[in-house]
Amino acid sequence: MPRLFDPHIHMYSRTTNDYEAMSKAGIEVIVQPSFWLGSPRRFVGTFEDYWENMISFEPERAKEFGIEHYSCISVNPKEAAERPLALDAVEAMVKNGYLERDGVVAVGEIGYDQINDLEEEIFIKQMDIASERHMLMTIHLPHKNKLKGIQNTERIMNDNLDSNKIKYDSKKMLIDHNVEETIGKTLEMGMWAGLSVYPVTKLSPDRAIKILNKYGTEHVMIHSAADWGRSDPLSVPIVAQEMKKSGGFSENEIEKVTFSNAVEFFRQSPKFTWRP
Ligand SMILES: [Zn+2]
C-alpha cells in the first residue's frame, strides 16, 4: 500500500467517524483549505471564528487519530463577490495575523466561482497577499466553465509578467478541481494539478486514472475535496487501490499522486514541518 496524503479536504463539515475511517485507511497528513459554511456568512467575525477553528481546534481533533492537519486560509471564491463583506474579511485576515499562525501553509482556496469581476478583485488581492509573503496558493477552478477559469488565471499570470506588478511563482501554485480540459494548461503553466475524486459531480476514480494515463504522474495529486456534499473522505486510498488494480502504474507512480507530490509541494512552506 502506498503512503497517503489528502491535500484538499474540508474537515469542518466532516465527522469524527470520518477521521477514524481515514486513519484506518492509512491517511497520514491532510490539508484543509478555507471554504464556505454551507450557507452565506453575514459577518467578518464568522470568517474569523472559522479560521480560528481550523488553526487551533482541527489539528487537535486530527491528532487523536494520528493524522497531521494543516490549513490554508482565505476568503473562498463562493463568497468573494459579497461587498463590502469580502473586502473587510480579507483585511481582517491580514491585520489579525491569521496567515502567520502555526500550520497555515497556504493562502486558499482562492479563485473563481461564478466568474465575475468582483470575484476577480478578491482573487488577485489574495494572490498578491500570498506573493508578498512568499506563501503557497491553492486555487479553485469553478464547477461550471472550468476552461474559462483556467484561461482567466493564465491571463492574470501573463498580465503580471508584462507589467511591474507582483510576479507570481507558478511552482508555488496548486490548481485544484482539474478535469480533462484543464489539466494540460495547468501543467504547461508550471503549476501543480489537483484532481478531485468525488462520488458524484466531480471526477470518478476511472476518469482520474484515464487523466493520469494521458498526462503522467509528475506534479499531479489526488484529493477528496470532501465537504458538505455527497463526498468521500477515502477518495485518496480508493484511487490508490484502483490504480493498482489497473496494472498500469508502478508503486512509485501511485505513491507520487497519493502522497509524495503533495509533500513536495507543501514542504515549500516553512510551516509544513511534518516529514515522512
Ligand atoms: Zn474545496
CATH code, 143: 3.20.20.140
Distance from the alpha carbon of residue 148 to the mean position of ligand 1, in angstroms: 18
Distance 256 CA to ligand 1 centre (A): 21
pLDDT value for 8:
98
CA of 33 to the centre of ligand 1 (A): 6
Instruction: Decide: residue 155, CB within 10 A, 0-12 exposed, 13-18 middle, 19+ buried.
Output: exposed
Q: Does residue 276 lie in a domain region? A: no
Q: How far is the CA of 254 from the centre of ligand 1 (A)?
A: 23
Distance (Å) from CA 32 to ligand 1 centroid:
8
CA of 83 from ligand 1 middle (Å) equals 22
The CA–CA distances, whole Å, from 43 to 40, 60, 103, 110, 244 equal 9, 26, 24, 19, 47
The answer to whether the predicted template modeling score (pTM) of the entire model surpasses 0.95 is yes
Q: Name which residue leads in pLDDT, 163 or 185.
A: 185
Has residue 100 been placed in a domain? yes
Q: How many angstroms is it from 223 CA to the middle of ligand 1?
A: 10
Provide the number of structural domains found in the chain: 1
Scored b (16 or more CB within 10 A) or e, 78-103 reads bbbbbeebbbebbebbeeeebbebeb
- What is the 3-class SS of the chain, one letter each residue? CCCEEECCCCHHHCCHHHHHHHHHHCEEEEEEECCCCCCCCCCHHHHHHHHHHHHHHHHHHHHCCCCEEEEEECCCHHHCCCCCHHHHHHHHHHHCCHHHCCCEEEEEEEECCCCCHHHHHHHHHHHHHHHHCCCEEEEECCCCCHHHHHHHHHHHHHHHHCCCCCCCCHHHEEEECCCCCCHHHHHHCCCEEEEEECCCCCECHHHHHHHHHHHCCCCEEEECCCCCCCCCCCHHHHHHHHHHHHCCCCHHHHHHHHHHHHHHHHCCCCCCCCCC
Instruction: Report how far ligand 1's centroid is from the alpha carbon of 201 (Å).
Output: 13
Give distance in angstroms: CA of 224 to centre of ligand 1. Answer: 9
How many Å lie between the centroid of ligand 1 and the Cα of residue 37? 11
Q: Which three cell numbers stand for residue 63?
A: 491528532
At residue 4 the predicted structure's pLDDT band, cuts being 50, 70 and 90, is very high
User: Which tens digits make up the pLDDT trace of 180-232?
Assistant: 999 999 999 999 999 999 877 789 999 999 999 999 999 999 999 999 999 99
Q: Separation of 141 CA from ligand 1 center, angstroms? A: 10
9 CA to centre of ligand 1 in angstroms: 7
**Residue with the three cell numbers 493564465:** 154
C-alpha grid cell for residue 259? 502522497
Each residue's pLDDT tens digit, 56-103: 999 999 999 999 999 999 999 999 999 999 999 999 999 999 999 999
Range of the domain at 255: 4-266
Alpha carbon of 154 to ligand 1 centroid (Å): 20
Query: Does residue 199 fall inside a structural domain?
Result: yes
48 belongs to a structural domain: yes
